[in-house]
Amino acid sequence: MSRVGRQTFVYDNPVEIASHVSYVGPKEGKGPLAKWFDVVLEDDLMGQKSWELAESHMLTQCVEQAEAEAGLAKGSAQAFLSGDLNDQIIASSFAARAMQLPFLGLYGACSTFVQALVVGGALISGGFLETALCAASSHFCTAERQFRFPLELGNQRPPAAHWTTTAAGCAAIRAGKSKGGLRLECGTIGRVVDLNITDANNMGAAMAPAVCDCIARHLEDTGRAPEDYDIIATGDLGWVGRNILMELFHRRGLKMPDEVLVDCGASMFYKEQDAHAGGSGCGCIASVSCGMIMKRLEAGEWNRALMVGSGAMLSPTSSMQAQSIPGIAYAVAVGRNE
């Protein structure tokens, strides 16, 4: 419960990850990270009447599985922290309705999963909750319809555009410290940074400055170096945004080893899958964290990871009004107990 520096706090009373579950769609299930996901959907409509209901259903299944794997009776978790890209976060609120759980709706665009871990970890470490389900989702078809064009139009996509991942991730967290288990060490709340990018097809560029600011602040607050992490996983900068981030680090005089910084969006698809700059969406870092990252930490392959969620805080209305895109980022450090 101690505070370190301006934007970071440490979870002194131990918080551990009791379970973690990742769901992805068919396209993501053919990408380089396929083997790490728990469930690959065969049909991304999941038998529902609309893409929006499908996304909410995917999220519900993912969260219910995480609750069960954490050894919790159905509906007994003390809080559900979640958000998504749909207007008024209906994928999450409809999932909360299905599960009848006390609900905290969050919105940090594609950073929402990490935001949920940062806030949920504090509520547990502070003694306010004993268990919480931290989650986020996104769906290619809901995001395309809402932010860009109806799929049926078959619009061309510019090279800097992202492919919104169809994915959900949920980590059940609780008070405690099991031998060999994963613990939340500390969390950093980012600031909104806006360097005047107005192109909604270049979200990597819009988010990179906020990610740079958040990581630099996290390292300064904690006195850690990039090498103290086996992996620093950014959310969904894609190839374009990752290159800009490395340039921003360089200008700031922060030495970031190329092999430490992995972008979840840039890693989600093979080049041949035609996803351009890479994956995006709240489900991107959520599914990669709950899949590959937490599994490699548990296996002892890695000892400590920093997950950095990044969000582009635009809306269709703000884009139409020619507003620039504010970026935000949150960071949470996860280690393995002795």
281 near a second copy, rule: CB under 8 A: no
Q: Which residues ranging from 190 to 249 are in contact with a second copy (CB under 8 A)?
A: 190-194
In this complex, which beta carbon is closest to a second copy, that of residue 63 or of residue 85? 85
- The verdict on 177 binding a second copy (CB under 8 A) reads no
Position among 78, 201, 243, 273 found at the interface with a second copy (CB under 8 A): 78
CA distance readout (Å), 218 to 34, 97, 330: 30, 35, 9
Compute the distance between CA of residue 167 and CA of residue 270 in angstroms, rounded to an integer.
17
Rounded Cα gap, residues 181 and 69, in angstroms: 14
Helix (H, G, I), strand (E, B) or coil at 154: coil
φ and ψ of 13, to 5 deg: -75, 120
CB of 169 vs a second copy, minimal distance in Å? 19
Nearer to a second copy by C-beta: 243 or 315?
A: 315
C-alpha span between 210 and 330 (Å, rounded): 9
From 60, 86, 287, 289, residue interacting with a second copy (rule: CB under 8 A): 86
**Least separation, in Å, of the C-beta of 180 and a second copy?**
27
Q: H/E element holding 133?
A: strand 131-138
Smaller CB distance to a second copy: residue 96 or 135?
96
CB 308 within 8 A of CB 214: yes
- Least distance from C-beta 196 to a second copy, angstroms? 11
302 binds a second copy (CB under 8 A): no
Q: How far is the CB of 20 from a second copy (least distance, A)?
A: 23
Scanning 6-14, 162-170, 235-243, 259-267 for contacts with a second copy by CB under 8 A, the matching segment is: 6-14
- Residue 40 near residue 22 (C-beta atoms within 8 A): no
Give residues 35-74 in contact with a second copy (rule: CB under 8 A). Answer: 49-50, 52-53
Indicate the pairing of strand 182-189 with strand 327-336.
Answer: antiparallel
Could you tell me the smallest distance in angstroms from the CB atom of residue 338 to a second copy? 25
Q: What is the Cα–Cα distance from 17 to 184, expressed in whole angstroms? A: 7
Size of the site for a second copy (CB under 8 A): 60
User: What's the angle, vertex CA 18, arms to CA 22 and CA 40, rounded to 5?
Assistant: 15
Among 71, 88, 150, 255, binds a second copy (CB under 8 A): 88
Q: How far is the CB of 192 from a second copy (least distance, A)?
A: 4
b/e code 133-157 from CB counts within 10 Å (16+ = b): bbbbbbbbbbbbbebbeeeeeeeeb
> Considering the complex, what minimum distance in angstroms separates the CB of residue 272 from a second copy?
32
Q: Which residues bind a second copy (CB under 8 A)?
A: 1-3, 6-7, 9, 49-50, 52-53, 78-79, 83, 85-90, 93-94, 96-97, 100-109, 115, 119, 122-123, 125-130, 146, 189-194, 313-318, 321, 323, 326, 328
